[in-house]
């Protein structure tokens, strides 16, 4: 099991090493956009690093898909419990969708929707604080 997970991780690390080598030799650049690093380059070493990172994700997903039937067979062997409802339980939910600087809050009731709106406004204020701090 360990060699299957080691392969995509080692390919990913090799890709990071190629990009780091390209940045160290001046063949690629690192810029900071808001709080996210952005790498750009035109060298073959940089391209190799990007390709290796993409390949590591593909290999990881492929290996994960190949192990799923083994897990499914193990689940079928377990005894099934009967479902016995114990009473009505109410599930509450809520969330915030950020569209630019505008928070859109939703929830299963007014209390949760209000909490989500407060969370969204707080997130916007923190981001504005970071932008003003960096400017």
Q: Is residue 86 in some structural domain?
A: no
Mean pLDDT for the stretch of residues 51-74: 76
Distance separating alpha carbons of residues 69 and 49, to the nearest angstrom: 32
**Count of domains in the chain?**
2
Q: What is the pLDDT of residue 80?
A: 62
Report how far apart the first and last C-alpha atoms of the chain are (Å, whole number). Answer: 48
Q: What is the pLDDT of residue 76?
A: 56
Mean pLDDT for the stretch of residues 38-53: 88
- For residues 65 and 6, membership in a common domain is answered with yes
The two tokens of residue 88 are: 């009505």
Band (pLDDT 50/70/90 cuts) for residue 77 is low
Q: What is the pLDDT of residue 83?
A: 64
- For residues 69 and 98, membership in a common domain is answered with no
Q: Poorest-confidence range of 8-22, 60-74, 99-113, 119-133?
A: 60-74
Q: Is residue 82 in some structural domain?
A: no
- For residues 58 and 9, membership in a common domain is answered with yes
User: Which residue range forms the structural domain that includes residue 70?
Assistant: 2-77
- For residues 10 and 73, membership in a common domain is answered with yes
Residues whose CB is less than 8 angstroms from the CB of residue 17 and which lie 6 or more positions away in sequence, other chains included: 49
- For residues 17 and 43, membership in a common domain is answered with yes
Q: What is the pLDDT of residue 5?
A: 75
Q: Are 127 and 106 in contact (CB under 8 A)?
A: no
Mean pLDDT for the stretch of residues 103-116: 90
- For residues 51 and 99, membership in a common domain is answered with no
- For residues 54 and 108, membership in a common domain is answered with no
- For residues 73 and 22, membership in a common domain is answered with yes
Q: Is residue 85 in some structural domain?
A: no
Q: Is residue 73 in some structural domain?
A: yes
């Amino acid at each position: 099991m360990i060699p299957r997970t080691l392969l995509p991780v080692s390919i990913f690390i090799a890709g990071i090493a190629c990009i780091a080598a390209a940045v160290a030799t001046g063949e690629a650049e690192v810029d900071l956009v808001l709080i996210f690093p952005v790498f750009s380059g035109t060298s073959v070493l940089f391209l190799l690093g990007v390709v290796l990172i993409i390949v590591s994700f593909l290999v990881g997903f492929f290996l994960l898909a190949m192990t799923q039937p083994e897990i499914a067979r193990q689940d079928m062997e377990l005894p099934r419990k009967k479902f016995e409802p114990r009473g009505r339980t109410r599930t509450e939910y809520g969330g915030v969708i950020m569209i630019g600087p505008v928070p859109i809050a939703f929830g299963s009731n007014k209390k949760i929707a209000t909490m989500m709106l407060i969370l969204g406004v707080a997130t916007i204020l923190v981001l504005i604080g970071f932008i003003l701090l960096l400017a």
